[in-house]
Structure 1
């Protein structure tokens, strides 16, 4: 259940460890690919081609049945799941062993205008939409005289100061700064970039001093960092913060945390904790040492995995790619061992440190007390992730895109029109216009939530 990091790696490694006559493997996910989420900030900034941040399930899982569908309920007592396909009626599927790797979903709050105006950054489609919206804003602003509407089009707001938010924010700022060379009508002083974080610091995965350095680095590049601030409203693109600040923003990106997958949290008879995560033992079998659940396993963001490498008793592994990939590999080994009547092993992983990109040529790395910033950290970030992304085919494609960018720069073409592919066909080549727009004035269209 789920084709993300943990699910993909579990199936991929099971294909290599099990003979065809030992097991039939089925993976169920509404998307036909695994998204390598650490690349999404660079997809949003145009440093990586969108398709290269994904791995096709069908191309690489040759012995696995891939179902483009969603598991909407799990009844382990009867070993069945309810499957809702992307097209067609629901059906029930039986199994012998279930692996729950459905991941988490974007956490939202009942903030006015949030779901209508904001874009998340958890899927590659969202990263592409963010990039196109930023580029479209530049195109429209360049045709307008200085004023409120031009300022709105050049204003970007990112809510959430975790790794996803900070990396996405920094990459977008880097892209926007580079774009000014191609837009002589616009000035650097007109760019308005806002990072909103509810806590008193950003990047909770690093210690205080490196986190403060990141804030200073972003501010020196013209960013505005709003700490201890919450988003109160985003209606009509008008941002209202708890600090009392208000401004209009053409692009609003929401990265303020994850929530439990609703199927795992409320539609299963497997044991879950208060947060809606599946309770697992150290070897990734569902249950506890005293009450294990036979033939059920879980890993990744939807599992409460004991962190045996943590100094604090009872700690759980943090939900990131570093753990999910390694849990998937361990999970495959343990399932194969169980099928063959062998003993399983506990999942133990000591952190390799944290690394983040802050735009081209800028980054930060921390391993315990060792902190590296700047160009070297940025190279380390790219080196680590090109090694971590699965399959040599994807590694080569990403490297070639990076090399092309060094030689020719980023591609700054917006393809936002793909959200309305029939406009040229239906309208005879005439672009869509906002109702009441005057001739000769570029209309400001707001994409619908469905289009995003």
Structure 2
């Protein structure tokens, strides 16, 4: 019995680790990932301002797997009828059961010039590119090219005010303060919808907006990007000159899925032999509620996916007792530069309390699913003194 897991992100890694413990010895388990490393995506924005985070938030999958084999390769196609997976190197893998956990790719919505002129944030190299581009903007302050047709604007634009966009804008504003150029550079956060953090509870949205402005970020909502060129972003409300453009404005399915994010119900099945979770799909839970594309949801869905795959393998064609997943949010956390916002139940906290909570969540995740050494590395960068002592007790 051959079981494949496609993708080594939050969903893929956790499903694999659970299946390692639960599948019968006769089953083979293979994790296919195109990078060979597990990236702690919710901390990726930190690497923009502080590249020392890179080693702490990227963990070789070989360090995390016990029983499963790792195949480092890009998946180009899934033939669910034939139960085969095609790889970019020309190989083909067959499966009896497969878990699709690719995550998602950046959506550009066919906006003219957007892909060519904006940098996304999905990988470590994207964080490094954003940092280099921001440093170039700083270096060029007061040094306009005499041959240029327009002057430098001193403006850095982040498109998309979801969780990722908010965190990127906060890091760039903090980086400007660190360099003493906060009065010369404007960090502008654009959002097509009416609020930042759209889709999240109103108290969380309000607090996030307030903390963005307190960190020096200019927020402009209800603004739709229509065309982008090398110096200007066209919107329905007029043009915006810029020196750097970061795009976090949406997600699409993986190319191996034709760019689609198919809908799955609460059993997380695409068909009897293929399961899917995380950002690769749109999940409707057992209560009929849509599940947000988030690391928290991916982590929590992994248990149900692993149970259902194990039940299917064990049944070997017989009756399968399939579990239905119900999404219950434990709350929301977001970094805003040196600040943070946390909502637990109806309560919203900011400042040091929210920062400590976010650090604790990240450190606990790394300690449980990655590496204690890396967890402590993140902890030392995000907290000090009394906060370190408190957070260490959580490990």
Instruction: State if a TM-score over 0.5 links the two structures.
Output: yes
The residue aligned with 2:124 is 124
Would you identify which runs of 4 or more consecutive aligned residues in structure 1 move more than 6 Å? 145-151
The residue aligned with 2:232 is 238
Q: Deviations over 1:317-352 (max 9, x none)?
A: 211111111222332233223323373432234110
- More divergent stretch after superposition (107-116 vs 211-220): 211-220
Q: Deviations over 1:29-75 (max 9, x none)?
A: 22111221110111112175213222212222243222222222222
1:259 maps onto 2:236 in alignment: no
Partners of 2:192 and 2:78 in 1: how far apart?
Answer: 35
1:325 maps onto 2:318 in alignment: no
The residue aligned with 1:378 is 355
1:206 maps onto 2:206 in alignment: no
Alignment of 1:103-252 (within 5 A): 103-141=103-141, 144=143, 152=152, 154-180=154-180, 187-249=181-243, 251-252=244-245
1:31 maps onto 2:35 in alignment: yes
1:5 maps onto 2:10 in alignment: yes
TM-score, normalised by the number of residues in structure 2: 0.85
Distance change in 2, residues 1:213/1:392 (3 Å): closer
TM-score, normalised by the number of residues in structure 1: 0.75
Q: Compute the displacement of 1:373 (Å).
A: 1.8
Q: Deviations over 1:293-313 (max 9, x none)?
A: 3222111112333323xxxx5
Q: Compute the displacement of 1:146 (Å).
A: 12
CA contact (8 A) 1:47 1:405 kept: no
The residue aligned with 2:267 is 283
The residue aligned with 1:355 is 333
- More divergent stretch after superposition (320-329 vs 200-209): 200-209
Q: Unaligned regions of 5+ residues in structure 1, if any?
A: 181-186, 267-275, 287-292, 408-452
The residue aligned with 1:446 is none
Partners of 1:261 and 1:160 in 2: how far apart?
Answer: 20
CA contact (8 A) 2:291 2:327 kept: no
CA contact (8 A) 2:363 2:379 kept: no
Q: Compute the displacement of 1:131 (Å).
A: 1.6
CA contact (8 A) 1:40 1:53 kept: yes
Q: Compute the displacement of 1:160 (Å).
A: 0.2
Partners of 2:369 and 2:13 in 1: how far apart?
Answer: 15
* Among 342, 346, 356, the residue aligned to 1:365: 342
Q: Unaligned regions of 5+ residues in structure 2, if any?
A: 1-5, 385-395
Larger radius of gyration: 1
Q: Compute the displacement of 1:369 (Å).
A: 2.0
Task: Please give the secondary structure, in 2, of the residue aligned with 1:152.
Answer: coil
Q: Compute the displacement of 1:11 (Å).
A: 1.3
Partners of 1:158 and 1:368 in 2: how far apart?
Answer: 29
Tell me the matched-pair count.
374
The root-mean-square deviation of aligned C-alpha atoms, in Å, is 2.8
Task: Please give the secondary structure, in 2, of the residue aligned with 1:200.
Answer: coil
